[in-house]
Amino acid sequence: MQHLCDIADLFLSRAPACDYWTLRLVEEEHDHLEVRQGVVEPSRLTYSSGAMVTLVKDGGIGYGATSDLSVSGLRIATERAAGWAQVHARLGLFEAGIYPRSSTRADYRTPVEEPWSTLPIAEKLDILQAANDALAIDDRIVDWSAWLTRRRVSQLLITSDGGRVSQILDYVHPGLVAVANEGSQTQRRRGGGSDGSQQGGLERIVAVRLLEDAPRVAGEALALLDAPECPQDTRDLVLLPSQMVLQIHESIGHPLELDRILGDERNYAGTSFVTPGMFGRYRYGSELLNVTFDPTVPMELVSGVADDEGAPAGREYLIRRGILERPLGGPLSQARAGLPGTANTRASSWDRPPIDRMGNINLEPGEGSLADLIAQVERGVLMDTNRSWSIDDSRNKFQFGCELGRLIEDGELTGLVRNPGYRGISASFWRSLDGVGGPESLEIRGVRNCGKGEPNQSVYVGHATPPCLFRDVAVFGGGE
Amino acid sequence: MNADAFFALSDHLNAELHGSEILFCNLSSESSDFVRLNRNRIRQAGHVRSTTLDLTLIEDSRQVGGGCDLSGDPKEDQARARGLLARLRERLAHVPDDPYLSYSVEPSESDHCGDARLPPIAEAIGELIEAADGMDLVGIWASGDIAEGLASSIGHRHWHASTSFNLDWSCYLEADKAVKSAYSGFGWDPAILRGKLEAMREGLHVMSRPTRILEPGRYRAYLAPSAVGELMGMLAWGGFDLKSHRTHQTPLLKMARGERSFDPRIRIHEEHDRGLAARFTPEGFPMPPRVTLVEGGRFAGCLVDARSGKEYGEPVNAASDGPGSLGLDAGTLDASEVPGQLDTGLWIGNLWYCNWSDPNDCRVTGMTRFGTYWVENGEIVAPVKVMRFDDSLYHLLGDRLENLTRERELLLSAETYDGRSTDSMLLPGVLVSGIELTL
């Protein structure tokens, strides 16, 4: 971070003459270790560093991004930004005067118990080898691997209004996968934290029970080979947090993004079935549905003190008791739409401009355990771990598939079913919510590949959720 | 960064190698202008200058890889690259032998620099906005230089550079009523742009008719090349790579086992000789002009990258496990005869957000989007409310395939996740006797 501060100070001493500017410096370290079928895969150690200069000048806005962090490199990026500001002033969508200004001064650093460097690479590989051994339990396991990914993002944002926000985010992502095959049937199970990402250090390995989870992952992959197909009919549905994450992400997170509502994303990620007039009155779900934007949850993927344009982070209700309250939009989108929003303008790295993004979008817990939810079901299916996702461009008609299903009969789990899927319409699905697990069943998870934006950007998104019960959902299995 | 600077950097690093160390340097560089548009105005505009160096350090049977951004300043870049090399060397001592290490030991060279005729970008954007006056246009302009380089201590020296533009946009009437277009290449011609916009105005005129809402069920359909591209994109996800086949994870598993097949007219190739993407792999292997993947509707061969090739004992024919220059052979249906041949059914302009619903049976789900119409007696009569399909490619490209168009479209990827893509597909439209709509 000191390195970034030095560059920022140098830039500050030669600050461009304009109405407003920001300099966003990003350094990223990435390390990936993987053992597949007992063989150590080539490790990848990458470093990225660069800067984005954004200028508001003469009635326009433009950006310039560069990996040349020298004085001359930043000067050239500034000139590029100024050039585009000039074009924007003539052909821009909105008045440059509404571009948000930030004077936020704040710092954040992921609390890390065990830094990545405390464990030698040989010991990390030993752990992954042990996980591999535990996955190879049967000749029908035809592919298997275990991995550890480390990522550190150091970011410094300074602004001409005196803003200075530094954030250092640390992540360690462990994971396992086992693939089982027999004839023309192949089934895959993942675990060991692969779908449960959070911030943190090497302590994540123990937290997600990487080694202990391996026999379950391989055993379930094998069991799915012989399981019957998920039935095709309408029945109650219990979704574990491993699938709720995706349900929240696609059918609440994306449709509430204000830039989608404003039309920015229509050519790529799509629009939204939500319109500005719905806020404050639209029944999004049942009374049990409470959803927050919450960057303050410790260790969730997008926890921090400010967004990438310097808006201070804070918890906000998006949906309360089923009623839609507020969209996900940073200050610029808020100004364009005339709606309140959240501090959620983010960029994937130094080479992409910030846009409206989900942060931590959490479904607040209700009451009771998973067993209590299952006990309320006479005829249903429980689904675990997303494997297929598809939803229309207005984020309404969806179809999701899971890795594993279990039938529920008369309030109890019965047999395993394979290739479970369900489909529905966002605008009515959440109104069928009839049970939300309590705080003890809440899990903090997230996704690490949320794609959006033109030019394209992939970012991390946090989701915390308990298991949930939905009534009368169309479910189906595999086959032609 | 130009070729000379890259090769000089590589030479500098090669001079620092110890003992029997071998070094592969791969460079990706772009200087891009991005203009995002909404409501036929500029939403966000800027410039990105990015250069990434990837190093693979090899000693005996051990290897480690890494990467860093470069600045463009030779001294600074030497320092960054040397720092990365030192970290890789430190790690190399702690990794075991890699049984699947694979690299070309034959020195080779190539040099490709594509010609381009691009306008001043601000001028082109001005022309676009003026020509689309009155339309609700939304999309992205991306243009500039892209380069890929490979150099090794063995003697590989390859460079592939191009300058291009890619305008990918849609025009909306209301809600989800929209038509889409793309204009990309190496030479800018405002007349072509105006022609495309005129066609979109006609499409929007049809879109203004009352929407037809379809019930779930099976419908006769024509899938335009862009829609076929989405299905090919699904097949690219595990359909053709050697590792997916050998570990039984490919969605073409039943085809590979001889249990199912596509229609005999389906022939799919990876066309490396198209010239848009580099013809060398990161490990220095040259790629053959073409790889036949599906021939006569049956599985013919796989894409084999260097690592999988070593693991499974096959010759290398691709840089990665996914196709980058896919081609589907044409059929005999004249494009002008499509409405008449379709007679009554769905004209699907684009598909969207496809995913495997059951990969074991090559079953895909996804949505209709952009320019999808209901056709009766060979005439477009109404736009169609977006519908979800869920169907197997063994049906759509197999027993329900009626014909493929004689004309094919070259679709250049507008994807920019890891920099501006050089991927492309050359595809016909497809007429099917039925596609299963579910929601």
Q: What is the per-residue DSSP string for A179-233? A: EEEETTEEEEEEETTTT---B-STHHHHHTTHHHHHHHHHHHHHHHHHSPBPP-E
**Shortest CA distance from A79: residue in chain B:** B47
In this predicted structure, the answer to whether residue A89 has a pLDDT above a threshold of 90 is yes
Segment B30-77, tens digit of pLDDT: 999 999 999 999 999 999 999 999 999 999 999 999 999 999 999 999
Q: Rounded to an integer, what distance in angstroms lies between the CA atom of residue A285 and that of residue B162?
A: 51
| pLDDT at position B87 | 97
How many CA atoms lie less than 13 Å away from A450 in the CB half-sphere?
Answer: 26
Distance from CA of A480 to the nearest CA of B (A): 6
Segment B365-382, tens digit of pLDDT: 999 999 999 999 999 999
| pLDDT at position B244 | 98
Count CB neighbours of A122 within 10 A.
11
**Shortest CA distance from A141: residue in chain B:** B247
| pLDDT at position B117 | 83
Q: Is the peptide bond before A455 cis (omega within 30 degrees of 0)?
A: yes
Which residues of chain B make contact with A42, given a CB cutoff of 8 A?
56, 63-65, 98, 101, 307
| pLDDT at position B116 | 83
| pLDDT at position B275 | 79
CB burial of A397-420 (b: ≥16 within 10 Å; e: otherwise) equals: bbbbbbbbbbbbeeeebeebbbbb
**Shortest CA distance from B252: residue in chain A:** A184
Distance from CA of B229 to the nearest CA of A (A): 15
Q: Rounded to an integer, what distance in angstroms lies between the CA atom of residue A424 and that of residue A429?
A: 6
- Listed in sequence order, the DSSP H helices in B110-269 are 121-131, 190-207, 225-235, 242-246, 253-256
pTM of whole model > 0.95?
Answer: yes
CA distances to B155, B222, B373, B385 from B210, in Å: 65, 21, 11, 10
Q: CB within 8 A of B401, min separation 6: which ones?
A: B262, B263, B265, B266, B430, B431, B432, B433
Q: What is the per-residue DSSP string for B364-416? A: EEEEEEEEEEEEETTEEEEEB---EEEEEHHIIIIITEEEEEEEEEEEE----
Segment B407-437, tens digit of pLDDT: 999 999 999 999 999 999 999 999 999 999 9
| pLDDT at position B65 | 97
Segment B156-178, tens digit of pLDDT: 999 999 999 999 999 999 888 99
Segment B112-133, tens digit of pLDDT: 998 888 889 999 999 999 999 9
What value of ipTM does the predicted structure carry?
A: 0.96
Segment B194-223, tens digit of pLDDT: 999 999 999 999 999 999 999 999 999 999
In this predicted structure, the answer to whether residue A143 has a pLDDT above a threshold of 90 is yes
CB contact under 8 A, A47 and B98: no
| pLDDT at position B276 | 86
Q: Rounded to an integer, what distance in angstroms lies between the CA atom of residue B172 and that of residue B184?
A: 21
Residue of B46, B73, B140 lying closest to A81 (CB–CB)? B46
Per-residue tokens: A96: 């440059």
Which residues on adjacent β-strands are paired with residue B267? none
Which residues of chain A make contact with B388, given a CB cutoff of 8 A?
390, 392, 397, 399, 423
| pLDDT at position A116 | 97
Average pLDDT, chain B: 96
Per-residue tokens: B307: 């690592």
Average pLDDT, chain A: 97
Per-residue tokens: B151: 């150099």
Residue of A66, A391, A455 lying closest to B353 (CB–CB)? A391
CB contact under 8 A, B66 and A45: yes
Residue A312 at interface with chain B, using a CB cutoff of 8 Å = no
Which residues on adjacent β-strands are paired with residue A257? A328
Q: Give the angle B123-B124-B125 at the CA atoms, nearest 5°.
A: 90
Residue of B46, B91, B357 lying closest to A121 (CB–CB)? B91
Residue B93 at interface with chain A, using a CB cutoff of 8 Å = no
Residue A277 at interface with chain B, using a CB cutoff of 8 Å = no
**A275-285 mean pLDDT:** 98
| pLDDT at position B115 | 83
Site of tokens 């679709």: B411
Contacts 24+ apart (CB under 8 A), A114-123: A114/A201, A114/A202, A114/A203, A115/A201, A115/A202, A116/A31, A116/A150, A116/A152, A116/A170, A116/A172, A116/A201, A116/A202, A118/A202, A119/A202, A120/B94, A121/A33, A121/A43, A121/B91, A121/B94, A121/B95, A122/B94
Tell me the three state secondary structure of residue A344.
coil
Question: Which amino acid, one-letter code, is at A229?
Answer: E
Residue of B48, B99, B358 lying closest to A39 (CB–CB)? B99
Distance from CA of B102 to the nearest CA of A (A): 11
In this predicted structure, the answer to whether residue B321 has a pLDDT above a threshold of 90 is no
CB contact under 8 A, A455 and B355: no
In this predicted structure, the answer to whether residue A231 has a pLDDT above a threshold of 90 is yes
Q: Rounded to an integer, what distance in angstroms lies between the CA atom of residue A443 and that of residue B333?
A: 54
Q: Are A311 and A305 in contact (CB under 8 A)?
A: no
Which residues of chain A make contact with B64, given a CB cutoff of 8 A?
42-43, 45
- Kindly report the backbone phi and psi dihedral angles of residue B162, in degrees, each rounded to the nearest multiple of 5, phi listed first: -155, 155
In this predicted structure, the answer to whether residue A1 has a pLDDT above a threshold of 90 is no
| pLDDT at position A86 | 97
Which residues of chain B make contact with A125, given a CB cutoff of 8 A?
95-96
Q: What number of helices (H) and strands (E) belong to chain A?
A: 10, 23
CB contact under 8 A, A39 and B98: yes
Q: Are strands A39-40 and A20-36 parallel, antiparallel or unpaired?
A: antiparallel
**A91-119 mean pLDDT:** 97
In this predicted structure, the answer to whether residue B274 has a pLDDT above a threshold of 90 is no
CB contact under 8 A, B67 and A47: yes
Segment B231-248, tens digit of pLDDT: 999 999 999 999 999 999
In this predicted structure, the answer to whether residue A166 has a pLDDT above a threshold of 90 is yes
**B296-323 mean pLDDT:** 96
CB contact under 8 A, A62 and B65: no
Which residues of chain B make contact with A65, given a CB cutoff of 8 A?
46-50
Segment B87-98, tens digit of pLDDT: 999 999 999 999
Residue A177 at interface with chain B, using a CB cutoff of 8 Å = no
Which residues of chain B make contact with A70, given a CB cutoff of 8 A?
71, 73, 76
